[in-house]
Structure 1
Amino acid sequence: MPQAPDSTTIRLLTQADAPLYREIRLEALAANPEAFGSTLERERDMPVTWFEERLATSEVFGAFIGQRLVGVAGFRRQDGTKIAHKAVLWGMYVQPTARGAGVGKSLVEAVVAHAAPRVEQLQLTVVSENASALRLYESAGFVAYGREVQGLKQNGRYFDEILMTMFLAGKRS
């Protein structure tokens, strides 16, 4: 049974969280390989130090119920003068036992709140077949602006990706 959102704590992960992050990341890649640009085969043999480095150089939010990491979502600002006003929400995953309780919504809200003072626009991609994720992102204020046909290929099967964006409060000219 899903936990109530008020029992969930959202915070930026640190290098000390690397073992927990590695575990949930590998779970995500195994459970929904079509939803991520990386693969389980690529990341499962990476040492914990690789995940520590990722957390040291990235901004990854974690959703905790008690001491258990049940969801993650990353924030990455675009690199380059002309695109530094944009960032990407990436690597979103919530464990099945925590879905339907507002954990995903809380993670998205945390990334949006983090992004708001830093960038003007937050973007993401989502596999077109993931209806629940599309609903979540739309309810948070993201709008679709395009479709990358055959954006991902997993085991010989293509998946389209929906490109979504959110202009942050008062930052669209």
Structure 2
Amino acid sequence: MSLSIRQIGPDEAEAYRTIRLIALEGDPASFASDVQTERDRPLDWYAQGTRDAAIFVAFEDDRPVGMAGLFVSDRDKTSHIGTIFGVYVLPQYRRAGLAVALMDTVIARAKTKARQVHLGVAVDNCAALKLYHRLGFQTYGTEPRALNVDGRFIDEHLMVRFLDKEDR
């Protein structure tokens, strides 16, 4: 077994599509997108996603087993903020440090482009909250009813990690 994490480009859009659909199907309460909408999207849509954001995929050999994305705006007034999205690790790879490795990779990239990173996480996702707190994220608010999944409202904690603590 060989695990690796790398930023993917348009030529690896199929790997991104594969892990994203698994994530949306397996954990719909953790994502704003729904599996059917994204299943119907053409592969070019996923390729464009790798151009618009930094998409990192964890692979076991050639099989995608985890993902995380980073978007940084090109607008002057918000270019200091990175948004982390789409964090997911297959269940059988959890509790082995892969989520930490993915997040460390994303945060390292964010440090080259932004001064802080934001993310949202369901208030009842205790494992993710514990991870994010351990990585230095702080909750700065809660968005009530952030998602409506099959008629169930899900609140999300909004979290931030400052990458330049001396400037806060």
**TM-score bracket relative to the smaller structure:** over 0.9
Q: What is the CA deviation profile of residues 105-163 of structure 1, one whole-angstrom value per residue up to 9, with x for unaligned ones?
A: 00000011001121111000001111101111111111111111111111111000000
Deviation at 1:34, TM superposition (A): 1.1
Q: 1:31 to 1:10 in 2, by over 3 A?
A: same
Q: Which of residues 81, 87, 90 is equivalent to 1:86?
A: 81
Select the residue among 99, 102, 121 that pairs with 1:107: 102
Which residue of the partner structure matches residue 69 of structure 1?
64
The answer for the alignment partner of 1:132 in structure 2 is: 127
- Matched AA of 1:22: R
Identity of aligned residues (%): 38
Gapped regions of structure 1 (runs ≥ 5): none
Contact 2:72 2:79 in 1 (8 A): yes
Letter in 1 for 2:147: L
Unmatched 5+ stretches in structure 2 = none
Post-superposition shift, 1:80? 2.5
Structure 1 outlier segments of 4+, above 4 Å: none
TM-score by length of 2: 0.94
The DSSP-based 3-state class of the residue aligned with 1:83 is coil
In structure 2, the CA distance between the partners of 1:170 and 1:99, relative to structure 1 (3 Å rule), is: same
Could you say what secondary structure the match of 2:32 adopts?
Answer: coil
Distance in 2 of aligned mates of 1:23 and 1:125: 23
Q: What's 1:23 paired with? A: 18
Aligned residues: CA RMSD: 1.4
TM-score calculated relative to the size of structure 1: 0.92
Aligned pairs, how many?
168
